[in-house]
Structure 1
């Protein structure tokens, strides 16, 4: 299903950041494992020693940031002119990342250049299975006001990843703009998904169209057992919904639950589960889950557009977007193929999102959940 591009507004914009991710890998005792990552779309990249790493490993640069993964998740379904985010470019912005961004579509990026500072960077330090995350440079936050009078102004759907208190500030900025009433997709930041943040979340929920934590985050915030099961996730969905999500309580809760799929709750509709695209039998397809939740919500935004607001159907688009993101380290690859038809088709990791969407729809129909 294609977008006709007949309106000037963007369909989906994320307020999430672009980050240059650096990586280091150690075993449980802190000894370097020797693992490296291939550079993202960079045949000429040369690694550099990072003295800031406590275990003195060589980090490899990757395109990162929740906003980046979200807009790529939406880009799988929509043209570059209909999605977007702000990218803060410092004096050290790598050429290979610029090339990768251009390949996804130059029009989807709004660059803010500052030659006086470096590009935002973060270190992902793995010690065994545990991932530590720390910013190596100051963060440059993005607000709805930053979109004003730009090509990204007043999108139909706006996505943000932050604490409940910052979500309230974002909602306040949105409400101050005349003629703009977007669908708001709120992804709570992981380190604020704690019981102490629940009162602040409850205050902002009436202005949130869609709330989407992952299962562990949802259970943590609600002080529930931390080992997710479908029963616990359904209870969490219901509890959040009962707090009054969306204007007049007509919003939705989508809890992203990894291999179990995603639980979708909307007022007046029964709880529904959407299977993960890759089943446990295809676990070899799952290489790296970093960014999967962000791209899921980008796919959700695109799905809301293409399904005319059907949240459950949009969740199928979201699930497909996440399926491409977890197949490799870093962002999925975009390619094109006419298949002899004379009409060029976009392929992601060599496959069609629309083919996967149909396969997922067929699978759910066979289970009697359509």
Structure 2
């Protein structure tokens, strides 16, 4: 197929969800803390992580709207990019997918409260999302195998695949299923705790353990790169030619800036994809774009806020009243110092 100028750079198959919240103490009693329902789901966080850097026309995510789809949610999605960015599917016979996040002390539980509609690569056919250059999915290894099988059946499509395994399947019993698909995965990205648990390594992350996990996962057949997202330690990026730690934007001394880490990993991978698009595939530089996207995500509960233009120069969007490119340039010297001589 020809490389159409209107072909999306990045599409996430992650679900769109409306999240509600319950806050309980260690004994399971309500704390009195409340939060209004908000947009959620790994797909939307990944899409917005990319949107921080790219125009809506370069990004895609399917949004299934039930008969109860809230007007305020539609307004927020329209502000982010509307029909240029999202492919809306309406179904008056069902409710919009919702879930509850229950916080009991420091422990978070997640539960769907309506049936979910899984999204497959074939759902993008005949839409503006078809034949995207990069495809992101969040699922079990078994589900990933189904997705990859569908991609292989679509003539002329060979996207760069960015796979984010779901936490409850990052267990040793799932390792054989993961190994079976790794040769088809361009970039594998668990977080540190998930990677260590999957490989039966000690569960308390250190840089040494994360590096060990990354080496094992790459050796098991990941096609291009393993990226282990490790919170304030940064992201460990490993290819067959090089490895390094890409710094987090907010460091441990900036703890007051961290409000809610929900969606940060998804946003990192959306930012990573945008970075790959903007840097002609440099995964190390791209990870710095991901780091900035994650930083914007954790500064508040919910999605980062598109807050206007940089009026002094007449171009460039601002998010959370700051400029993504300013943040990128602030951290870029640290990345180049880490890279050292080629």
Using the size of structure 1 for normalisation, the TM-score is 0.89
Alpha-carbon distance between aligned partners in 2 of 1:6 and 1:206, rounded to the nearest angstrom:
27
* C-alpha distance after superposition, 1:262-321 (max 9, x if no partner): 00000122x200111001111111110000000000001111010101111110000000
> Could you say which residue in structure 1 is the equivalent of 2:301?
329
> Could you say which residue in structure 1 is the equivalent of 2:334?
363
Q: Do the aligned partners of residues 245 and 368 (structure 1) sit closer, same or farther apart at CA in structure 2, a change above 3 Å counting?
A: closer
Say yes or no: does 1:135 pair with 2:108.
no
Q: Do the aligned partners of residues 245 and 96 (structure 1) sit closer, same or farther apart at CA in structure 2, a change above 3 Å counting?
A: same
> Could you say which residue in structure 2 is the equivalent of 1:226?
203
> Could you say which residue in structure 1 is the equivalent of 2:259?
287
Alignment partner for residue 124 of structure 1, among 93, 98, 101?
101
Alignment partner for residue 243 of structure 1, among 220, 228, 237?
220
Q: How many residues are matched? A: 338
CA-CA distance at 1:344 after TM superposition: 3.6
SS in structure 1 of the partner of residue 212 of structure 2: helix
Contact 2:244 2:339 in 1 (8 A): no
* C-alpha distance after superposition, 1:221-248 (max 9, x if no partner): 10111000000000000000101111xx
CA-CA distance at 1:34 after TM superposition: 1.2
> Could you say which residue in structure 1 is the equivalent of 2:283?
311
> Could you say which residue in structure 2 is the equivalent of 1:353?
324
Alpha-carbon distance between aligned partners in 1 of 2:21 and 2:115, rounded to the nearest angstrom:
18
Alignment partner for residue 95 of structure 1, among 64, 71, 78?
71
> Could you say which residue in structure 2 is the equivalent of 1:204?
181
CA-CA distance at 1:177 after TM superposition: 1.0
> Could you say which residue in structure 1 is the equivalent of 2:248?
276
Alignment partner for residue 165 of structure 1, among 142, 145, 155?
142
Alignment partner for residue 52 of structure 2, among 68, 76, 92?
76
Alpha-carbon distance between aligned partners in 1 of 2:166 and 2:87, rounded to the nearest angstrom:
23
SS in structure 2 of the partner of residue 85 of structure 1: strand
SS in structure 2 of the partner of residue 160 of structure 1: strand
Alpha-carbon distance between aligned partners in 2 of 1:199 and 1:367, rounded to the nearest angstrom:
34
CA-CA distance at 1:369 after TM superposition: 4.6
CA-CA distance at 1:366 after TM superposition: 5.2
Please list every run of at least 4 consecutive aligned residues from structure 1 whose deviation after the TM superposition is greater than 4 angstroms.
Answer: 366-370
Contact 2:297 2:304 in 1 (8 A): yes
Q: Do the aligned partners of residues 369 and 287 (structure 1) sit closer, same or farther apart at CA in structure 2, a change above 3 Å counting?
A: farther
> Could you say which residue in structure 1 is the equivalent of 2:9?
11
Using the size of structure 2 for normalisation, the TM-score is 0.96
CA-CA distance at 1:365 after TM superposition: 3.8
> Could you say which residue in structure 1 is the equivalent of 2:226?
253
SS in structure 2 of the partner of residue 35 of structure 1: coil
Say yes or no: does 1:110 pair with 2:83.
no
Alpha-carbon distance between aligned partners in 1 of 2:42 and 2:340, rounded to the nearest angstrom:
31
CA-CA distance at 1:367 after TM superposition: 5.8
Alpha-carbon distance between aligned partners in 2 of 1:298 and 1:339, rounded to the nearest angstrom:
26
Structure 2 unaligned segments of length 5 or more: list them. none
